[in-house]
Amino acid sequence: MEPKGRVICLVGYMGSGKSSVGKKLADRLGYAFEDTDELIVAKDGRSIPDIFRQEGEPFFRELEHALLKSLVTRKDSGMVLATGGGIVMDVRNRPLLKELGTVVYLRADAKALYDRVRGDEGRPLLNVEDRLKTMRDMLTVRGPVYEECADIIIDTDGLTPDETVDAVLGRLGM
């Protein structure tokens, strides 16, 4: 498909490579790279785990929504936007992602995602007893939503970040 506008939004579960792939993709296109989590942290002054711990998830979701809304003003500039894994679960965010540009879902199975976030304590929703089960359960709910939001879906299992970038660019004819 032709890219829709000048923004590429990467969506997908934690560990799907949105940030690492996004940076490389932005470099290849000469676009700016932004990451919703990083922008939230820069603005709030606290880490994501601290925001979750001190304020709770609903407060974080409001920050995330307000930030996404503010980014729409930048939709005409070239940008790759890596989004937090839960962004699609707020229904208000779905039309905003579409308005920004092309939505790309970096899909991977639960076990591959689990291996990629191994040892990472920076994700509050994954600080649970049975992490793999939690990830499987969340993916069952979120997977169809990512798919519904996406203009294109890239199956990243077995792909390096560079190969994933090639796949995105190939699908968009860029």
> Can you give the binding site for ligand S3P, defined by CB under 6 A?
14, 18, 37, 48, 84-86, 123-125
Question: Can you tell me the distance from the alpha carbon of 69 to that of 29, in angstroms, rounded to the nearest whole number?
Answer: 24
Q: Which is nearer to ligand S3P, 37 or 151 (CB)?
A: 37
Nearest approach in angstroms of CB 149 to ligand S3P is 14
Question: Can you tell me the distance from the alpha carbon of 127 to that of 34, in angstroms, rounded to the nearest whole number?
Answer: 26
User: Which amino acid, 90?
Assistant: D
Q: Which is nearer to ligand S3P, 133 or 174 (CB)?
A: 133
Nearest approach in angstroms of CB 89 to ligand S3P is 7
Q: Residue 118: CB partners within 8 Å, gap ≥ 6?
A: none
φ and ψ at 92, to 5 degrees? -65, -25
Checking 42-47 for CB contacts under 8 A at 24+ apart, the result is 43/67, 47/122
Q: Residue 47: CB partners within 8 Å, gap ≥ 6?
A: 41, 122
Q: Which is nearer to ligand S3P, 28 or 61 (CB)?
A: 61
Q: Which is nearer to ligand S3P, 3 or 86 (CB)?
A: 86
Nearest approach in angstroms of CB 84 to ligand S3P is 3
Nearest approach in angstroms of CB 85 to ligand S3P is 3
Q: Which is nearer to ligand S3P, 36 or 102 (CB)?
A: 36
Query: Please, what is the Cα angle at 151 between 150 and 152, to 5 degrees?
Result: 90
Nearest approach in angstroms of CB 162 to ligand S3P is 20
